[in-house]
Amino acid sequence: MVPGARDAYMKNLKIGSISDIPIYLNFTLILFLPVLAWLISRPEQIDVYAGVIEALAGHSIDRAALESGDTPLVIGAASAVGLMVGVLVHELGHAFAARRYDIVISSITLWIFGGMARMEELPEDWHIEFWVALAGPVTSVLVSGVFFGALQATPADAPVLTFVVGWLAVVNLSLAVFNMIPAFPMDGGRILRALLARHQPYATATQRAAGLAKLLAIFGAIFALLNGAPLLVLISLFVYVAATSESRAVAMRELLKGFTAVDLLSKDAPTAAPDTPIDEFVERVFAERATVFPVVDGDVLVGVVTLDQAREVPSGERGATTVSDVMDRDPATIGPDADAFDVILAMNEQAVDRLLVVEDDRFVGLVTTSGIVSVIQVLQGVGPATKPDPEPPEGYV
């Protein structure tokens, strides 16, 4: 689970909300669901699971009925959708546990590797992280128990219903067990970090938990290659990358602790007035070697204009066209007191390379990716230190 700054994404489809938490489907899951349904419908898969379900139900299942006509596809579709509902309930378990600690959940997204409950802030209290992480697997075990109970009441002469209910009992339990693997981004990795963080710094606990996750990923990939399991190779690669990303993110947050958006401001960010003609704006672009200009009216931010927007204006019309005619009137902004790491997250979430810092509609300054990189490079060179007390931008209180 990671913080979120914006809930609408080009690659996500909103399907509704639960308890005021927006629910999204990622395009990867939309593409994978039919594949998952087909995989479940394969005769060999149905046969294997039917044996397990018979043992749980205490009675036999009519295998011929499961494999007749389009029944396998119906089973596959129902089971795949049921699995995604189980994943959603798993994430809701995290979400409701987080709310108990006053952590805001901005959205839940279902994608090819499961689900993600996005938190507005990451708890560094080991006790909070432990219970929030554990809530997901516990919820999945409870869901599995509900389906197991339903399986006992399912009549023997309803083979399709028996199979789907039994399959969901098995797969939700498997989901809980899989998530307890001590490797990021699974819940087990976060539980391990929480336990390690009881007696050591959070960043150190993260590095150690991430190190174990990467080791497990390497062994998993080797096992998968030796046994011809391409999906396990992909999962192992995902775990390795996620563990590396988690470790770097926590290290960066530790490095930037105490810094705010004001500390990341680019020096002397150029601005443009809304009535500036485009031809004059283009001249300023070349003269000031800048391609992005916040548009301010007095000291109030009204938009942002870029060189690309100016280029769309025909050369013969640039004298009569002003910046206000082409500017973006709803640019990405953030408050001056926002945590520096939250600034980075917001830029990543919104897929932008800059954020305008605004207080009460008044333009304070501009934060850019290159400016953040410069700050990080300096801090990495000198190490974490007392936050500098730079001279604030003119007019900033």
CATH number of 296's domain = 3.10.580.10
Judge whether 369 lies within some domain. Answer: yes
* pLDDT score, position 217: 92
Residue 295, strand partner residues: 272, 303
Helix (H) / strand (E) element for 168: namely helix 159-179
Average pLDDT over residues 293-311: 90
pLDDT, residue 9, reads 39
Q: How many Å apart are CA 42 and CA 72, to the nearest integer? A: 7
Q: How far apart are the first and last CA of the chain?
A: 35
When pLDDT is averaged across residues 309-331 and rounded to a whole number, the result is 90
Q: Are 324 and 295 in contact (CB under 8 A)?
A: yes
Strands 105-111 and 21-26: what pairing?
parallel
Q: How many domains does the chain have?
A: 2
Beta strands 292-297 and 300-306 are antiparallel
Rounded CA separation 340/287 (Å): 31
Q: Which of 322, 272, 278, 277 is nearest to 302 (CA)?
A: 272
pLDDT at position 195, please? Answer: 95
- Of the three residues 255, 273, 308, the one that is the final residue of a domain is 255
Task: Convert the pLDDT of each residue in 324-343 to its tens digit.
Answer: 999 999 888 889 888 888 88
Give the C-alpha distances (Å, rounded to integers) separating 50 from 55, 153, 264, 302, 359.
9, 17, 59, 63, 62
What was the pLDDT predicted at 382?
Answer: 61
77 and 137 together in one domain = yes
Q: Reduced to 3 states, what is the DSSP secondary structure of residue 276? A: coil
Provide the pLDDT confidence category of residue 396 given band limits of 50, 70 and 90. Answer: very low
In the predicted model, what is the mean pLDDT of residues 209-225?
92
The reply to whether 281 and 222 lie within a common domain is: no
Distance CA 358, CA 331 (A): 11
Query: Which residues, in sequence order, are CB contacts of 151 under 8 Å at separation 6+?
Result: 53, 56, 57, 162, 165, 166, 169
244 and 266 together in one domain: no
Spatial separation of the C-alpha atoms in residues 397 and 395, rounded to whole Å: 6
More confident site: 388 or 327: 327
pLDDT in tens, 226-255: 988 887 888 889 889 988 888 888 888 888
pTM here is 0.74
More confident site: 378 or 162? 162
In this structure, of 76-90, 318-332, 369-383, the range with the lowest mean pLDDT score is 369-383
What's residue 208's pLDDT? 92
**Per the structure block, which two tokens stand in for 118?**
């996005």
Last residue of a domain, one of 210, 232, 255: 255
Structural domain harbouring 87: 12-255
pLDDT band at 1 (very low <50, low <70, confident <90, very high): very low
Query: Are both 272 and 186 inside the same structural domain?
Result: no
C-beta separation of 247 from 206 below 8 A: yes
3-state secondary structure of 364: strand
Q: pLDDT of 130-189, one tens digit each?
A: 999 999 999 999 999 999 999 999 998 899 999 999 999 999 999 999 999 999 888 999
Which residues, other chains included, contact 275 with Cβ-Cβ below 8 Å and sequence gap of 6+?
322, 323, 324
pLDDT in tens, 264-276: 887 678 889 999 9
